[in-house]
Amino acid sequence: MLKGEDFGRLFETFERTAFRLETLAVDDVDDEREEFAAFLSGNELPPEFNDNPWVRSMTDLGKQVTRVHVLRSPLSDYLRYELAAYPGTIKAGESIGIIDTTRQEVAGLPAHDFWLFDDARVYRMHYTDSGKFIGAEPLPDDRLAEYQQYRDIALAHAVPFGEYRAA
């Protein structure tokens, strides 16, 4: 499994497209603890959330970053925090869609996160029950078509984030 710098290099080395299917209701990220606590206390997100520099580092190179987040209302505190940051990632160039399973059931999607890079390499994400990242498992080439199909299903059913937020 890839983690740390090895996992981070995937975002530096992909050439054209990165797609993520996200399914977690909570994510336990050490770097976000302070900001998450401040958010729960009613404070504004830090200025870098207005134009996400991590996403911008990819999109400024002409790379496409797309995410579909499968979630269920009512939102967990963490999801409210994460969705509050989405306008800044969208401004930085990420395309985000939402599938809210309380509004629509979508068959044929896995119950786990993954990244698909350049339509050629897929990594299944592994987390603890509390949402702590364990690592990204590179999947063999014979699983690629399966994950491309998951991507296509997710994109076909996702509502653009702005539309979801307005509703």
Handedness of CA 13, 15, 21, 26 (dihedral sign): positive
Q: What is the pTM of this model?
A: 0.94
Q: Which of 96, 121, 112 is nearest to 9 (CA)?
A: 121
Measured in residues, the chain has a length of: 167
Which domain range does residue 74 map to?
Answer: 4-166
Tokens of 60: 């400024």
Per-residue pLDDT of the chain (167 residues; tens, 9 = 90+): 999 999 999 999 999 999 999 998 877 777 778 888 889 999 888 888 899 999 999 999 999 999 999 999 999 999 999 999 999 999 999 999 999 999 999 999 999 999 999 999 999 999 998 888 999 999 999 999 999 999 999 999 999 999 999 98
Cα–Cα distance, 43 to 22 (Å, whole number)? 26
What is the residue whose two structure tokens read 């509390």?
130
CATH number of the CATH domain containing 13:
3.30.870.10
Give how far Cα 105 sits from Cα of 36, 44, 70, 160, Å: 29, 33, 10, 16
Q: Which of 159, 166, 120, 125 is nearest to 143 (CA)?
A: 120
Q: What is the count of structural domains for the chain?
A: 1
